[in-house]
Amino acid sequence: QKEVEQDPGPLSVPEGAIVSLNCTYSNSAFQYFMWYRQYSRKGPELLMYTYSSGNKEDGRFTAQVDKSSKYISLFIRDSQPSDSATYLCAMEERDTGRRALTFGSGTRLQVQP
Amino acid sequence: DAEITQSPRHKITETGRQVTLACHQTWNHNNMFWYRQDLGHGLRLIHYSYGVQDTNKGEVSDGYSVSRSNTEDLPLTLESAASSQTSVYFCASSDPGAHSSEQYFGPGTRLTVT
């Protein structure tokens, strides 16, 4: 079983829809949670970053972390065609001193105009 | 502007050959990472370094090596290329003093082993 599970999609939605992307994880030592966005043939870029449980909002994007359920989500409101990309969740232990990230496999999102 | 670059962007090589992929960053970051990205697996960590002369194995390190002789560069060497190493390779760097652990990624190298 992978440490981080993510539905690969593809997920196709109409423009303006609310999108929900999710990851589950098994390592209870993960403390920092991130969402990266990756456009086709590009490197990933950090979109959202949260520490421990709770919500964080940035414009049309909201990241949620539920450590008790080992479940994280990214919501995109009023989705735009420019949001079409692969979204990767990533997690970090930090306390071990290991600053490397563990990534989910990514969900491909297509927003139809 | 600071950046992270990778070369070559595309490479075709034959089974058994030694291949080196270059990664250069001008962020002055101590932490550098190499990942490979394959369909269905996301990004998997190959090797990482926390500073000059420091290297560590990631989850898929077999057949790969790195060396860190300066802050800016972390070349990745495939000792004897195998078809299973056909993949897209990404280099990344991060600032160990930053709270967010944000990693800055290069544009990737698409490697094909025939």
Interface test with B, best of A27, A99, A107 (most B CBs within 10 A): A99
| pLDDT value of residue A9 | 83
Contact B43 A44 (CB under 8 A): yes
The rounded mean pLDDT for chain B is 94
Closest CB from A43, A44, A92 relative to B101: A92
Contacts of B40 in chain A (CB under 8 A): 8, 105
Reference A86, options B89, B11, B94, B37; nearest CA is B37
Q: Catalogue the E-assigned strands of B1-114.
A: 4-7, 10-13, 19-25, 31-38, 42-51, 54-57, 64-66, 76-78, 87-94, 104-105, 109-113
The pLDDT tens digits for A20-70 are 999 999 988 888 899 999 999 999 999 998 887 889 999 999 999 999 999
Q: Which residues contact A29 (CB under 8 A, 6 or more apart)?
A: A93, A95, A96
State how far residue A95 is from chain B, nearest Cα, in angstroms.
13
**For A106, which residue in chain B has the nearest alpha carbon?**
B42
| pLDDT value of residue A17 | 97
Contact B43 A94 (CB under 8 A): no
The pLDDT tens digits for B17-67 are 999 999 999 999 999 999 999 987 889 999 999 999 999 999 899 999 999
Residues of B with CB under 8 A from a CB of A: 31, 33, 35, 40-45, 48, 50, 58, 90, 92, 94, 96, 100-103, 105-108
Phi, psi dihedral angles at A82 (to 5 degrees): -70, -10
